[in-house]
Structure formats: structure tokens, C-alpha cells
Amino acid sequence: MRDIIESALLSAKRAGATYADVRILEREVEEISTKNGSVDALKRSFTKGLGVRVIANGAWGFASSFRLTADEAEKVAEEAVLIAKASSLTKIEDVSLAEVEIFQDTVHQKVEIDPFSVPISEKISVLLESDKIMNIPGVIVRKGNMYFSKEWKTFASTEGAYIEQERIVSGAGISAIATNGKELQIRSYPSSFGGDYQRKGFELVKSADFLKNAERVAKEAVALLSAKPCPSGIMDIVLGGSQLALQVHESAGHPTELDRVLGEEASFAGMSFLTPDKLGKFRYGSDIVNITADATIPEALGGFAYDDEGVKAKRIYLVKNGIFVGYLNSRETAKKLKLEPMGAMRAQSWSFMPIIRMTSINLEPGDKTLDELIAGIDRGIYMDTNKSWSIDQNRLNFQFGTEIGWEIKNGKIQDMVKNPTYTGITYEFWRSCDGIANKDFWHVWGVPNCGKGEPQQVMQVSHGVSPARFRNVKVGVLK
Amino acid sequence: MIGKDKIIEILKKAVSRSKADQTEILVMGGKSYLTGFANNYIHRNVGNEDYTINIRLAFGKRIGSATVHGFSEEIIEKALKDAELIAENQKENPDFVSFAKPSKEVRQFDEKALYSENTANCDAECRAKIAKEVVDASKKLGLNSSGTVETETDEIAIVNSLGVEKYCVRTVASIKNIAMAADSSGYSKSTAVDITKINVEEIIKESTDLALSGRGPISIEPGKYEVILTPYAVAEFISHILYLSLNARAVNEGSSFLIGNFGKRILGDNITMYDDGLSEETIPLPFDFEGVDKKRVVFFENGVAKDVVYDTLTAYKEGRESTGHSLPQPSPYSPYPMNFVIEGGNSSPEEMISNVKRGLFVQRFWYTNPMDPKNAVITGMTRDGLFLIENGKITKPVMNMRFTESVISALNNVIELSKTKKIIYDMASVTVPYLRVKDFTFTGKTEF
């Protein structure tokens, strides 16, 4: 391994790079999905390769290859330098990186049960048992899925960094789709779009207790078909954890990515309303809104020991007492705004150049119980589990739909409602937050499929949240 | 490139070594490059060489799959062993009948239409020069450009134990620009097999004209508007029905609005849509990822629901032929229309605008998602060019708005279609005209 890395770094320098780093990644994945009583897909994937990132002529270049040999590493580094030199054709100023502490380290990840040691038959049986329980009249599609991955990544740079990290991830979920011929309703557990994901072993699946939740999931999907439609109007809402995680993701995570803010994602994902002139001044939310970026949370999907620039994981505030105070950054963007690098650069795999990604972006817990949040509402809706999401390219106007809702009247949960939706402007919404549930209700939800960048990269991130209450929200778009 | 002879030889050898009743090996890969620019300079410039090998083994009705990256006999051997291990632990899939059988009829297709040396040989300097042409033009106009120049050269090969043996090499190139002023932006993108067939000047003109004329937008109230949707907007809006509605899986799972409606007119009689992998109106692909030759599938003819696309799993279960629309298996999104076309009409975009008394011109939609899959209700934002049309003329730029609208309703409200169509490519190819649609519903607005 070291000879491949040395070959890449030496070759980059020889070709004219003023900075180079190399990442070698090896990853094994096992995925299982079941549908309507049988195993729909059972697949193992394996990938390994190297990516070399360089600065030459003051501009970036990146090349990668699946051939892991010293000769190939040399060629890849040379190609990265050629690409960087071509980039410099349009250069306005030289790329410059903020100084960081240089580490040599090896980090293993402890899990209780190595997911690759558990027989596939045991995994299948959990999903098929749940499937059987969900097989009730009205349910047309029952689905279950599990995901396990194990990776070993080595990062080295011409500055002397040499970091090896292990990463083990488990994820699982079930869902039931019911129909009456006219409409479809879905319920998922523990969250939608594949369930919950964490840096844990098979213990994640054991603790999720799918068999206990499968019947409720199926019954709720069927019950939604005859539930009344979510009312429309301006009213108070309480968002459950799994929906609030996505709200944090879209309206706090993405707009604080400094590459977006500086226009580097403008041709795809867009930019951000949180421009540098607002840093430290702008009222993003009410006084009780505190949002952190924390890659140090044990087991959080968005956590790690070092990012893909070798920066050690940190916890920083993005929003403190309602004021916007921080960005997710890289060494390059931090230098531009004279900020401290906070370690948010990650790449999907060896074949991608790292970009700024969310770590674990968390709404810090408040001091209420869920009952207290609901008790404070005369007329409103409790909504949970994301079904649909959309937000403008500057992250202001959003519209979300959830799988399920319940009316709240006079401080009490009442009837189930279907197709709940709510919409708003990000800062107005967060300013209307007047209650956040306490740490007993706090959970770090894994989001395994955050898309960003060109070429597009899919990243595993997470969001620690507890349910929260928002006042005077526009509810109901669908008739 | 590895080349046809070597790939087929190695795959055939691997298939012959397999202990399974049926074996399928798919190889996809090659070189891909992206030169990205933002703030009028190249900020990201990346290249990658990778091959993905998908192996599926069937022991009776027990299917095991494995994927590996790279290309060598050793790595294929590892994947075969992984797939065998997986299949041993697998339960039977009662829906499984067989992997693909060789196609009975093969439509004539000139494979030269798939590949261009100009694209394959466009190196870092070639891409950087195109990027420079775009940013220099933007700078001259006082605008800020962001965009990409992308090229890919892919080899795709499928060999299975039933006699399927397919190989092709294809190139795809895309050039995109978003030109931005302080309070406006304009979008343009083109995709072609041959990069030299992309008109860079047109991309510059379309994007910068929109950015310049979009300055000083006014805010208007949401509501129902007559709209002119460009092909970019049409593709973003309707592409959700490709996975929600127009395939056999969606019909089986209940999400398709075609269920119970085959043979009935449920869209406007001016709407005809189909998928044709061999059409040069799209970025062609002659066979699917199971090695089945692409058939032309008509979804709607003059508004009447006709058919959906199939892969082998969904087709053989119903006792019919696959239409050649499998994605790399296993996939929760397969089958999928990869070469979708809406037939055009007779108007020019200018004539269509001149026929609008009061309405909106929408260059592009963004961040669209289904709100109600069964009724194909989609929400999303406008982006990079929204203008008020009054008395047949574009009069004022408008701040971006949110729409929430059903594809079914909108395709029943199409008043006019343009003759001109454009290929919108993002993994799959969607070729659509401009549409003039009445009563399109906007439900919100934003601050820019």
C-alpha cells in the first residue's frame, strides 16, 4: 500500500504539483431487499481503487483508477497534474489551502456484532417474518431492506499526513403500501426511504425490533386510505423526529455548505441565502434554535475520525441561540473567508474528488416533552415520516409531505389525517419554532442518500433531532 | 478501452466456469471526465477510469448477485464466488422464470451512431478550451458563469448462459452553462454523441440572453397560469412518470395511473409518447442491461394508453417478451424507459408565445418530487428563467415560483406543441418539445 501511495505522491510532485493527496479505498457492501414474501434482491459489491488530487499551476486536478499498482498510481498522478494544468487556463487566482494540523493515525471502528459475520439466512428471515406480519387485506406491496458496509480508507498527502480509517455501517427498514384502487398510502419504519442507518453493526437491526412494529406499519397504511384529508390553512404543527431530520437536512445542512455559498455548486444544486455578510448577524431561527455540525458523535452516520482532507472531526455551531454563526467548510473555502477548517470534505468513493458534505447536522435538544409540545396547540397537526420534499436552489421556499399526520385539537391528539403537507420560507419557519423536545426524545437519524456535486456523489450523513413545534405554518397543498 | 474481443472472450470463459443453472455477466465502464467551472473559472476537473461487473446466478429460482469494480479474470472469479455464496443462502423467487433469451427479432441499427472519436479524444485541454469560450463570453457581458463540459466513453457487454452475447461502445458529451447576474440567471445545456455537434455559441446565447433579460424580476401571486414550458421544463416535470407510471413494475405495484386505463383516452388527443432506444432523436442504446434488443414501446397514442416497458422478470411472468428496458439488475427501478420521446406538433416556440394572452414562460423546473404518485402530482420550483407573457409578448422577468400540478391534468391541458424537440440527458434520454399548457397551478413563491 505504502509503495502505491509514495509512487502517486512522488509522481505528482515530479510532474509539477505543489500539493497532492491520495486516497485508497476498499469497500464491501451487502444489500438485501424483500418484496411481497420473497427476496427481491440479494447482492454483494466490492470496490477498490485510488484517487489522486493535486494542485498544479495554482489549479485543481483529479484522476482515479481501479488498478491498484505503483505503476498505475504514477500514471494517475501524472494525469491529475495534466488536468490541473488545463484547469489553469481560466485561473483567476491560485488555489490556497488553510493550514491544518497534520496527522498520522490509524482508527478502527468497534461494533458489537460484525454484520458480515451474521448468516444471510438470519437477515433474510427478519425481513420475511416482518413481511408476513404486514400481509393484511388492503396492503398491496410489502418491502424490507438491509444494508451493511465495511470499508478501509487510507489518506496521505505531500504535507505528511497518513491516516487509515475503518468504517462499518448498518441500515434497515420496512414499509407497507396500501391501496383501494384510487390512491396509494405508505407507512415505513423506522423511517422512509430505506429506514435508519448508523455506524453500528448488526445490533442496529436487533434493536429496531421490526417484528414488533410490522403490524402497526401495515395497519396504519390501510387506515390512511379511509382517513380524512389533512386540513388546509395556517396552523401550528409538531414535526416528529424522522421528518424533522429531513427539514434540518434541507433547510440548515445544505445552505451552510460553504462551496454552495461561494457559487461552486451553482451549475447543479444551486447556491444559498446564507451569504457571508449574514455570518454572525442573521436571525436564522428563534432563540431556542441551536444547530450543530458534529462529526464526533459516536455511531452517527455522518461521523468519522478524519475527513478526506485529513482534518480531524470537530463539533461546531452553525446556528447558536437562533443566530447563523457557522459554515461547513473545506481547507480552500475556509481560507477564502479566514475561517478555521472544520473537516467536512468527503468523497463518495475513491473515484470522486472530495467536496463539502454535511457531517451530523443536529438540532440540539430543548426542554419539553412531546406531550407538552402538543398540549400547547389549540388547532394543528402532528406530522411524521417524510414522503415528499422540495426546496428552491437558494434553500428558502420549501414544501414537504409526510406519510402520516394526526389532528391536534385543544392540546390533544385526535384523528389520523392523510397526505399532510406544509410549506414555508426557511428562516420564517425556524423563527416560528417555540418548543423543542428534550434529550430523552433525541435520536440521530441516518440519511444514506444525500446527492450533491458534479459528477453527482451520494453521501451518508445524519441528523440528531427531537420533535419540535412551529407556529402559524401553511399546511395543506393537496386538496 | 478493453475492446469487444477481449471482453467477450473473458465473459464467455467466466460463464462457462459457473456452476449455476443460469449465469449472466454484465460489464459497464470506461473513462469519464468532467470539467466544471464556477465564478468564471475551472474549479473542478476530474477524470476516472472504472469498470463495473454485475454477475447474476440462478440456481433454480434462487438468484444471487455480486458486483465488483475493475476488469480481470481474477476479479470476475471473486464475483462468481460471492454470487454463489449469496445464492446458496437465498430463498426462491416465485416470480423468476429465466434470464434473457436471445432476441427473436433484431431491428437494424448502425452502431456507428453510438460512438464518436471526437468525444473519445477530447482531452483535458480540449474541455478546458470549451469552458474558456463560455466563461470569456460571460465575462464580456458582465455575467458570472457556472457549468460543465462532460465526456464519457463506455463499453457495455452482456453475456449469459442462454446464448445472449452483446457488446457496444458509446460516447456521450454534454455542455452546460448557467449565466448569472445579481438577481437573474439563464440556463442552457446540450448533449450529443459527438461533442463537435454541440453548438457552444447557442449555449452561450440562450443562457446569457435569459440572464440579461431576467434582471429586476417582479413578484407575482401564485395561481393558475397558462404556461410555455421549454423542453428543459417539460423533461423535469414529466420524467417522474417514467418510474412512477410507464413501466410494468409500477403497474404491478399499483403506482401507475395507467392501471385500468389501457385502451382508454386519458390524456389529450395531441399527446403521443413512446420509448425508442434506436431512434437518433435520443442518445441511442441498442439493447438493455440484460442484453435484450430494444423494442419501440408506445405509451400513449393520441392520448390513448397503450403499453408500458418490461424487463425479463416482469415480462416472462406475464408470458410475454421483454421490451428491452432492464436496468442493471437487481434494481428497484427496473424496467425503465431510457429513450423517452414526446411527439412534437407544428408550431414554433415563437408562435406559441405569441398565442398567449397572459401567462408565464418557464425555462426550467428544479427539485421536483411527487406529492401523490398515483395521480402523478408533482411539486417543484422554477429556476433560471421565468417571465411574464402579456398579449403574445414576453414583458417582464418574474421571481421564482413553486408549482404543484398533476402530469395527467397538464397533459390534458396542452394547447400547442412545438415542432422543435430537444434531447435532455441525465443518465436516461428524454426528448420533448415546447408545450403550451393552460391552467398550470403555481402554489407558492420565493424571494428571488
pLDDT tier for residue B302 given thresholds of 50, 70 and 90: very high
- Domain residues of chain B, as ranges? 4-210, 217-445
A41 & A169 share domain = yes
Q: How far is A402 from chain B (nearest CA, A)?
A: 9
Q: How far from the centroid of its chain's Cα atoms is residue A59's Cα? A: 29
Residues 408-447 of A with CB under 8 A from B: 419, 421, 423, 425
A276 & A337 share domain = yes
Q: From chain B, pick out residues whose CB is under 8 angstroms from the CB of A345.
A: none
Q: From chain A, pick out residues whose CB is under 8 angstroms from the CB of B51.
A: 66
Residue among B48, B67, B367 minimizing CB distance to A392:
B367
Contact B254 A455 (CB under 8 A): no
pLDDT for the residue B326: 98
- C-alpha span between B45 and B68 (Å, rounded): 26
Which DSSP helix (H) or strand (E) runs through A131? helix A120-134
* Residue A167: CATH number of its domain: 3.30.2290.10
Predicted TM-score (pTM) of the model is 0.96
Query: Quick check: A173 contacting B, CB < 8 Å?
Result: no
Q: How far is B62 from chain A (nearest CA, A)?
A: 9
Contact A351 B48 (CB under 8 A): yes
Contact B148 A454 (CB under 8 A): yes
A111 & A149 share domain = yes
Count residue pairs from A and B with Cβ separation < 8 A.
Answer: 258
Average pLDDT score over chain B? 96
Contact B93 A38 (CB under 8 A): yes
A77 & A221 share domain = yes
Q: How far is A265 from chain B (nearest CA, A)?
A: 8
What value does the mean pLDDT take over residues B362-371? 97
Which of A226, A252, A283 is at the close of a domain? A226
Residue of chain B with shortest Cα separation from A268: B147
Q: pLDDT tens string for chain A (479 positions)?
A: 899 999 999 999 999 999 999 999 999 999 999 999 999 889 999 999 999 999 999 999 999 999 999 999 999 999 999 999 999 999 999 999 999 999 999 999 999 999 999 999 999 999 999 999 999 999 999 999 999 999 999 999 999 999 999 999 999 999 999 999 889 999 999 999 899 999 999 999 999 999 999 999 999 999 999 999 999 999 999 999 999 999 999 999 999 999 999 999 999 999 999 999 999 999 999 999 999 999 999 999 999 999 999 999 999 999 999 999 999 999 999 999 999 999 999 999 999 999 999 999 999 999 999 999 999 999 999 999 999 999 999 999 999 999 999 999 999 999 999 999 999 999 999 999 999 999 999 999 999 999 999 999 999 999 999 999 999 999 997 54
What is the ipTM for the molecules in this complex? 0.94
For B48-68, b/e burial (b = at least 16 CB within 10 A) is bbbbbbbbbbbbeebbbbbbb
Please write the tens of the pLDDT for every residue from B28-39: 999 999 999 999
> How many structural domains comprise chain A?
2
Is B336's pLDDT higher than 60?
A: yes
A172 & A263 share domain = no
- Helices within A337-381 (DSSP H only): 370-375
Residue of chain B with shortest Cα separation from A68: B70
Residue B349 in grid coordinates: 416556440
A257 & A208 share domain = no
- C-alpha span between A65 and A84 (Å, rounded): 17
Please write the tens of the pLDDT for every residue from B98-133: 999 998 878 888 889 999 999 999 999 999 999 999
What value does the mean pLDDT take over residues B249-268? 96
Q: From chain A, pick out residues whose CB is under 8 angstroms from the CB of B65.
A: 41-44
Contact A183 B374 (CB under 8 A): yes
Q: Which fold is adopted by the domain B4-210? A: PmbA/TldD fold (3.30.2290)
Contact A397 B445 (CB under 8 A): yes
Is B76's pLDDT higher than 70?
A: yes
A44 & A167 share domain = yes
Which of A207, A226, A245 is at the close of a domain? A226
A175 & A218 share domain = yes
Residue among A141, A267, A390 minimizing CB distance to B178:
A267
A208 & A236 share domain = no
What value does the mean pLDDT take over residues B174-199? 98
pLDDT for the residue B107: 85
pLDDT for the residue A207: 96
A199 & A341 share domain = no
pLDDT for the residue A435: 98
A198 & A154 share domain = yes
Q: From chain A, pick out residues whose CB is under 8 angstroms from the CB of B404.
A: 399, 477-478
Q: From chain B, pick out residues whose CB is under 8 angstroms from the CB of A308.
A: none
Q: From chain B, pick out residues whose CB is under 8 angstroms from the CB of A267.
A: 36-38, 146-148, 176-178
A197 & A288 share domain = no
Domain that holds residue A208: 2-226
pLDDT for the residue B108: 86
Which of A205, A226, A247 is at the close of a domain? A226
